[in-house]
Amino acid sequence: MRLKDKVALITGASSGIGKEAALLFAKEGAEIVCVDVNDAAGKQTVAEIIALGGKAAYVHADISKAKDSENMVKFAEEKFGKLNVMFNNAGIMHSSDDDAINTDESIWDLTMNINAKGVFLGCKYGIPAMRRAGGGSIINTASFVAVMGAATPQIAYTASKGAVLAISRELAIVHAKENIRVNSLCPGPLHTELLMKFLNTDEKKNRRLVHLPMGRFGEAKEMAKAALFLASDDSSYVTASDFMVDGGLSAAYVTAE
């Protein structure tokens, strides 16, 4: 098992990439701390892991708040004794996110607080725990749009994910000699509830699909498998990477007219 004897904290564990990663990481031997604001769904993920013979626990946390982020790391150490893997995955993509002219300041602030500040706070409190554990792997969910831009305007989301790339690269260099690796996972367009709510018309969906060499949206399970590689010792010489898992999109991308 690729994560045997490791403890992994996963934010956004109630659905999508986070839930699939929690299930997969547990199958690979990790003890899982599931973090979310949706308590019922987060606890359901834990129940599914336990039903499959794994070990998991749930903690409520709003990752945009320092106290909650500090507490989720404290919970992991108290519950399972250490922290080896932190998957800062939770994020939002607001349906009112648009271009710079039409995006309200409140949408910008909300998106940046969760997507960028949430990653900062996760790292702020997670890194000291990893030092105590003798090292670890941090995976921060970014997006292909942080590298390429988006055909459908979503300025706050794109900017927030660009921040995730910058945060990850800097922390990777700062902590490389402490056996702490930091990488960004950059999914392409996925068939998840988060994206489907944003791409709420056939026109928006088709503007994404037309650029995808594989001709389909990715699946959350595929992103979980990519995250597993970054979490495991298989990626022991990988840090500061922008890990593109996008069905070839970044190689074929052109801006839609």
Q: Estimate to the nearest angstrom the gap between the alpha carbon of 214 and the chain centroid.
A: 23
**Residue 193: in which H helix or E strand, if any?**
helix 193-198
Active-site annotation holds for 157: yes
Cα 152 from Cα 93, distance rounded (Å): 12
Cα 18 from Cα 221, distance rounded (Å): 9
Burial classification of residue 83, based on how many CB atoms lie within 10 Å of its CB (0-12 exposed, 13-18 middle, 19 or more buried): buried
Please tell me which residue in 58, 125, 157, 253 is annotated as part of the active site.
Answer: 157
Residue among 38, 31, 23 at smallest CA distance from 3: 31
H helices then E strands: how many in the chain?
A: 11, 7
* Positions marked catalytic: 157
